[in-house]
Structure 1
Amino acid sequence: MSLTKQELDEFREEVRAWFEENKPADPGFLLPLSFMEVGTDEQFYFLRDWQRKVYEAGYLGMAWPKEYGGHGKPQALQDIVTREMIRQKVPFMTNTIGLNWAGPLILNMGSEEQKKAYIPGILSAEDIWCQGFSEPDHGSDLGNAQLKATRDGNEFVLNGSKIWTSLGRHAKYMILLARTKQNTNNKYEGLSFFLIPMRIPGIEVVPIRKLTGEYGFNQTFFTDARISESCLIGKEGEGWQVAMATLAFERGAVGGQAGGHAMMSREVAEVVALARTAQRGGRPAIEDPTIRDRLVQFVMEERSMMLNSARSRIKALNVDRPFSIPMSSKLVGSEYQRRMNQFALSLQGANAAYYVGDDLAYERGQWQRSYFNAFSATIGGGTSEIQHNIIGERVLGLPKS
């Protein structure tokens, strides 16, 4: 179903008006910057209710099939909604893992029963999802996952632990990569992928306090936790292929997500405003030629990412390396945010030492908090080092050694 420019423009105005009217007021407490910082119950319930409101208004899961709770409309409409949410800086969608990773995976690889059971709750935020990939001793070596899933009749018994399970304390389900076969010649052949319930005996979620003082991360322990074999997605022993499909959704290399943004990113316009008020030798920092040059570089980078995003949707402009932009967007975007936040701190001089809660902190210490939290995105979904390797090998065709 193709839409005319007039229809798209009219829809854009409708969406803009709805978010302007329904954007939540300041709740009176510190909101997290991304799903990786949701640590308190009041943060979680506020964000869950917001996602449900957006979904019930018809602005989430717009391109997902109607029979599973979606709206069955063109993807172009969902893209408009997502861009407007980012533009207006409304709160992010807290069920990010469900909307962007688990949901698309289930729609593409799950059984009919799994689609009917899981997709509606993902969209409404009734069922929150977390991810069980990284382990304490095997963070970036996903293929060497050691959490055991031992078959016992028509059940599997889980033993081991996963770490960095964002939203784990509030999650109802987890996407889990576990080892179902030991001592294989190829470590990838012994892995299986599960959609597991979190609220069962034998699963304990322990919050991890971050440098920022927040508790968005958790470690999840499994001690003889029993799950049904119906939790498998894909075949037993083929978990690595399912995990790679999941990471393609997580990194944005493949489309099919439900929409909405996952984090509150800073923009270069905010750094420019900071440079106008920050002082260098008694004058506004923005008058320093070196600082102005850095700001121009950030402006160019931000604009190039926006144009590349548009370019990636035009097949004729991506003939030579069709996956180069999608596969590099996570790396480029996360590192850009880290560097830009760091530059914003440098503009504050000695005041950069203040943090959230300090009366003298600029903008209540939000730049400092943004800088620390920016590192999460450079690690989650594959570290920047891993991303460089993936791009080199899979996009550019470079040898592994």
Structure 2
Amino acid sequence: MADEQSKDTPEQAAFRQKAKAWIADNQPAEPPVRLPLTPLEIMTEEQLAYLQAWQKAAYDAGLVGCDYPVEVGGGGMTDCQRVANEEMMRARTPYMPNVIGLGMAAPTVFYHGQEELKQRLLPRLFSGEDIWCQGFSEPGAGSDLASVQTFAERKGDKWVINGHKVWTSLAHFAEWMIILLRTDRSVKHDGLSYFVVPIRSALGKGVTVRPLIKITGETGFNEVIFEDLEVDDTFRLDELGKGWQVAMTTLLHERGAGELVTPRSGGMSNKSSHNTSAAALIKLARATARNGATAADDPLLRDRIMQQVIREAGMAGNQRRSRVTALQDNPMRLPLQNKLLMSEIAQDTAGLAMDIEGAASSLYLADPNAPDGGQWPMAYMNSFGFTIAAGTSEVQRNILGERVLGMAKSK
């Protein structure tokens, strides 16, 4: 953190002191209910209300949307969201619940939406008053996103939407959805258009949201059914048939939103009420009895833990590189690389924790004997969603090989 502060501009240094002081004076009380590891697993109104109150307070204090123009509800600053994130992470504040809104919807609306739409939607997105979800995947179109079939038929200045989206995180609470729709069946990529859709107000009137219960027992995922939902053409982003290009804006931010620092990345604290970092692995190993000693005394486990420490340090270095313009030879390189590595590091860290815990890793959240409150088995089971979301690890490697390294396309 000291190294980061030494590189602050005068504006950033002043903002850092302001952010640090406000966070110290406004840390929220302990949550009245257990919070999930990530915002994508929020299940209850009580969890959401607690986290929304925190996001609203942070936004009102100027710690969210810092780098967006004042005209759309932002702070009008330069690279100060990074500073706010660093201070929130250092203080281990709650995470922001509107993760999809901040990390994906905000930059997409900002770069592709009409001015009136930005002014209408972005302030309530930043404040967390309106939760957002993402309508990309379908039962027959996941990694091959351009094959989506949910169709929007034009009727005057309206569009009528019919189809089925799936794996839609936070749809059970979302006011708005960013959605990729087919508007022309005769062509593939050029037949796609991009919209923002109000779904909560349309529940039972063209929109049905059904929860999908995961192996963890959580219901953060949903499927969303559209039946003759009518929306205005003003909710379309960019030109008709340009949906694929707009979706690339969303995906670049989704794949690189581990550290959210600029208008292209929104802003949120990545810390939850739990810690699943390599440092937490060390603490767990020291607290776990094994063969008359602790798991931390096992040389093989120590070696595996250090590998995770090294990988995390490498990721932190990559995040710093992402802020150096001269190193951005290919805008896809770091976002794609970061998404691939972060998801796999998280999965490997949680898997290693399961090995450290041994038989105790089978204990669930409600068991008082579960180490670290049962967070590691939950993190491990949820980690497989992150190596699939925004493109599987296999797809990420293909894209990096073909579009960044210039390798021949796979057959």
Q: So what's the TM-score if we normalise by structure 2?
A: 0.91
Distance 1:11 1:238 in 2: 38
Q: Decide whether aligned partners of structure 1 residues 69 and 180 sit closer, same or farther in structure 2, where only a CA change above 3 A counts.
A: same
**Shift of residue 269, structure 1, vs aligned partner:** 1.0
Distance 2:248 2:230 in 1: 25
Provide the secondary structure at the position in 1 that maps to 2:284.
helix
Q: Which residue of 1 is the match for residue 378 of structure 2?
A: 369
Distance 1:306 1:128 in 2: 29
Q: Does 2:237 correspond to 1:257? A: no
Distance 1:252 1:352 in 2: 31
Q: Decide whether aligned partners of structure 1 residues 71 and 360 sit closer, same or farther in structure 2, where only a CA change above 3 A counts.
A: same
Q: Which residue of 2 is the match for residue 306 of structure 1?
A: 316
8 A contact 1:35–1:263 mirrored in 2? no
Q: Decide whether aligned partners of structure 1 residues 191 and 6 sit closer, same or farther in structure 2, where only a CA change above 3 A counts.
A: closer
Q: Does 2:197 correspond to 1:193? A: no
Distance 1:289 1:250 in 2: 37
Task: Give the AA of the match of 2:125.
Answer: I
Describe how 1:169-248 pairs up with structure 2 within 5 A: 169-182=172-185, 184=186, 186-198=187-199, 199-200=201-202, 201-248=205-252
Deviations 1:150-182 (A, max 9, x none): 112221111111011111111111111111112
8 A contact 2:182–2:191 mirrored in 1? yes
Distance 1:189 1:318 in 2: 28
Deviates more, 1:288-297 or 1:244-253: 244-253
8 A contact 1:315–1:322 mirrored in 2? no
Select which of 391, 401, 405 maps to 1:396: 405
Task: Give the AA of the match of 1:174.
Answer: M
Q: Which residue of 2 is the match for residue 296 of structure 1?
A: 306
Q: Which residue of 1 is the match for residue 45 of structure 2?
A: 41
Task: Give the AA of the match of 1:65.
Answer: P
Q: Which residue of 2 is the match for residue 282 of structure 1?
A: 292
Deviations 1:226-270 (A, max 9, x none): 111221111222211111121112122895223113563621111
Select which of 62, 68, 71 maps to 2:75: 71
Task: Give the AA of the match of 1:191.
Answer: L
Describe how 1:6-21 pairs up with structure 2 within 5 A: 8-21=12-25
**Shift of residue 5, structure 1, vs aligned partner:** 5.2
Provide the secondary structure at the position in 2 that maps to 1:348.
helix
Distance 2:392 2:326 in 1: 31
Distance 2:244 2:139 in 1: 19
8 A contact 2:183–2:193 mirrored in 1? yes
Q: Which residue of 2 is the match for residue 139 of structure 1?
A: 142
Distance 1:275 1:260 in 2: 30
Distance 2:256 2:165 in 1: 23
Task: Give the AA of the match of 2:374.
Answer: G
Q: Which residue of 1 is the match for residue 155 of structure 2?
A: 152
Describe how 1:322-401 pairs up with structure 2 within 5 A: 323-401=332-410
Deviations 1:207-244 (A, max 9, x none): 11111111111110111111112211112222111111
Provide the secondary structure at the position in 2 that maps to 1:297.
helix
Unmatched tracts of structure 1, length 5 or more: none
8 A contact 1:107–1:115 mirrored in 2? yes
Distance 2:97 2:89 in 1: 14
Task: Give the AA of the match of 1:145.
Answer: V
Distance 2:206 2:270 in 1: 30
8 A contact 1:99–1:257 mirrored in 2? yes
Task: Give the AA of the match of 1:35.
Answer: P
| Equivalent residue pairs, number | 395
8 A contact 1:129–1:173 mirrored in 2? yes
Q: Which residue of 2 is the match for residue 83 of structure 1?
A: 86
Distance 2:327 2:236 in 1: 39
8 A contact 2:89–2:271 mirrored in 1? no
Identity percentage over the alignment?
43
Deviates more, 1:375-384 or 1:389-398: 375-384
Q: Which residue of 2 is the match for residue 92 of structure 1?
A: 95
Distance 2:270 2:183 in 1: 32
Q: Decide whether aligned partners of structure 1 residues 372 and 141 sit closer, same or farther in structure 2, where only a CA change above 3 A counts.
A: same
Provide the secondary structure at the position in 1 that maps to 2:387.
helix
Distance 1:129 1:390 in 2: 27
Unmatched tracts of structure 2, length 5 or more: 1-6
